[in-house]
Amino acid sequence: MIEFSALDWIWSLAFLLLMVGGAFFFYRLARRSESDFFLAGRSLPWWLPASSVFSTHTATDTPMWVTGVIYAHGLRGLWYTFFTAWTAIGAFVSARIFRRSLAYTQAEWQSLRFGGLGAELLRGWLAGWQFFMNMFILGWVGMAMGKVCSLAFGWPIWAGLVLPSAITAIYTLAAGYWGVVMGDFLQGIVAVFAIVLVSLVAIYAAGGPAEITARIAEMGQSWRLDPFAFTGWSEGDFPALWWLTMLVIAVVGGFGMGTSIDWYVEAQRIQSSRSVRDASYGLWAGGLVTLVRNAFWGASILAFFVLLPDIQNPADYELGWFRLGFELLPAGLVGVFFGAILAIHLSTISSHLNLGALYFTRDLYQRYLHPEAGERRLVWVGRAATLVLLVGSFFYGLMMEEITRWLIFALWLMMAGIWLPNILQVVWWRFNAWGYLSSWIANLGVSWLVVWILPAFGILPPLADHQQFWLLMGLGAVVFLPMTLLTRPEPMDHLVRYYVMTRPLGWWRPVHQEAVRRGLIAEDPRPAEQSPRPLIRRKWSADEAQAWSREDWIAILLSPLVYGCVLFGLVRLLLLQSSGAWLLLAAVAGSMAIYWVIDPKLRAVSVEYERQQSVYATALARQMKWEADG
Amino acid sequence: MDKGLVTVIGMSIAYAASFLGMGLAWWSWRRRR
């Protein structure tokens, strides 16, 4: 238990009032419409979605699992956090395509990309999945807060689960997504301050950067400082094949939608951005700040390892970052630290409450139960769904602790079976609703076989995570590829409408040609004054900017490298290793190059798209009411 | 309980909500067509 002084309580309460009050302040905006309650009216500049991306993905359980992998694996454990890097490419590919679709949710996007009954079944499927998933995440994160409050104050677990989440619900119910995103901004500032402060204090307490590296070397564990300390190709606890698999999942996953469980949350942030350009920068910056956070945690957990190197039980060392804050900070700052813990908890809870309510309201209630519902009614349905999610998460957290522990793993497997279809649905015109739906359903059966039935009967040996990923992906493809090719393509009218609206990347030539034939887009635009084409084009007409070009590919290729340089450059700099400074310099240069290359194009895309957005929005509203062909 | 069994049970629970959503979509589609 932690001793709280009067000053600590004052700081904690002040932070709580600031965060809750600051968010609640926006309730007048939220009540105006469904668009305001769930997307802040699609009006946010890039830095607000960016802070929300960071804050949402800094949950109470995040420092626990990051601490766990770094305490166990040293700096190579940072690769476990590199799954965030899907935003590196996602910012310049899937974010642009999704923002242009105007879909409120990923489930709605399915009905724009695909058509007919298959699209509706997919929409219902994903909406049900996301309503459940958000309740599950709320319960899981709430349980983590219960454990932290138990550590800090000796409270029973249920109190830490229920009280902070209930406080969060006050402003989420009142101010909807406006409250969420404004709260996230305030909470993000508090969280970054605490993470940096605790990291620096921990490094100092362990004797400074040089002492940390020297002590680790003395213990004969210098491998902890090497992010590439593989234990072999496929053997040991850090095989190179796992690392390669992780890179493929994370980085290539940016071409798809839903390749990471985080996508569904980010999709809301992308759609709430005021332009395509803001959506791209918001996602990119949010992912980057998340990796900066991981670098600070990496250095502080190495310090924690030096201070307490003999902890064997993961449940004990996973609380390392919380212990650093509670045990090393002086009276007064402990209250600030607890305020930061509240911040990271509130931001995640509020986001998932609002997101789960969005799927219920938009995709289940409005689309399938009451398409004619007015704006005020939809806002109230959103509030009711928020309340149901909150109460459901309490039961989930308290009753399903054992199941949820393994469900995390199950969800990872889940992503394995649909990872490739999630990319194909974005980049391949011929992939259809039946192929995608079959991949989800096949994944359930295949996972039963690979994870339990075959190993239980000794037919298949227990497999490592990366082996399971590739096997599940291959077996899934055996189902969804024939299903796609044996069923009809989506109707060309539907595909052309989607293509003109979103201009997706990939293999869309037949649809592109049909759109050109109908006079909806220009063929291979190339202005006479710019011929021959400059190596990097920085002046774009509206038509030119719509097509994917080498400028996009430069951003796509540089972006993951910048992410990697930031993550490992910063952690090395915190340990005063000179390579850290060079890596960070490379990251800065890379970021500037990306901006220089891609910004003119993003501006042109945004200006042209916003000119047409109201027409698209009207068509979407008609489709929601079943007045137009889905 | 066996880790693999618990995993697939957890996964099946997750799928149950999806089937419910899909059932609602199918019901609505039939009603409007």
**Is A407 in contact with B20 (Cβ distance < 8 A)?**
no
From CA A604, how far away is CA A276, in angstroms rounded?
Answer: 10
Question: What are the average pLDDT values for consecutive 10-residue runs of chain A, which has 630 residues?
Answer: 82 86 83 92 95 89 89 94 93 96 96 94 94 88 86 87 92 92 91 94 95 95 94 91 93 92 94 96 96 96 95 88 91 88 91 96 95 92 95 81 56 77 97 95 83 82 86 93 96 95 95 94 64 85 89 97 97 95 98 97 90 85 76
From CA A125, how far away is CA B21, in angstroms rounded?
Answer: 5
Q: Which residues contact A33 (CB under 8 A, 6 or more apart)?
A: A41, A375, A378, A379
- Option in A132, A406, A626 nearest B7 (CB): A406
Chain B neighbors of A117, CB-CB under 8 A:
26, 29
From CA A39, how far away is CA A355, in angstroms rounded?
Answer: 10
Confidence (pLDDT) at A500: 94
Smallest Cα distance from A313 to chain B, Å: 19
Confidence (pLDDT) at A449: 82
Half-sphere exposure at residue A373, Cβ-oriented, CA atoms within 13 angstroms: 22
Confidence (pLDDT) at A627: 80
DSSP result, A345-406: HHHHHHHHHHHHHHIIIIIIIIIII-TT--HHHHHHHHHHHHHHHHHHHHHHHHH-HHHHHH
Smallest Cα distance from A422 to chain B, Å: 17
What angle in degrees, to the nearest 10, is found between the helix axes of A106-113 and A94-101? Answer: 80
What is the interface pTM, i.e. ipTM, of the complex? 0.87
Chain B neighbors of A121, CB-CB under 8 A:
22, 25-26, 29
Confidence (pLDDT) at A558: 97
Q: Map tokens 């009218």 to a residue.
A: A493
Smallest Cα distance from A449 to chain B, Å: 9
Confidence (pLDDT) at B4: 61
Half-sphere exposure at residue A280, Cβ-oriented, CA atoms within 13 angstroms: 22
Residues in chain B whose Cβ is within 8 Å of chain A: 1-29, 32
Split at pLDDT 50, 70, 90, the class of B6 is low
Confidence (pLDDT) at B11: 65
Nearest CA among A381, A280, A358 for reference residue A35: A358
Cβ atoms < 10 Å from Cβ of A303? 30
Q: Dihedral through CA A560, CA A565, CA A566, CA A572, nearest 10?
A: 150
Amino acid identity at A446:
V
Whole-model pTM: value is 0.93
**Domain spans in chain A, listed from the N-terminal domain onward:** 6-228+236-624
**Is A452 in contact with B18 (Cβ distance < 8 A)?**
no
Residue B33 scores a pLDDT above 80: no
Amino acid identity at A453:
I
Q: Are A322 and A148 in contact (CB under 8 A)?
A: yes
Domain A6-228+236-624 grouped into CATH 3.30.70.360: no
Dihedral over Cα of A441, A447, A448, A453: its sign = positive
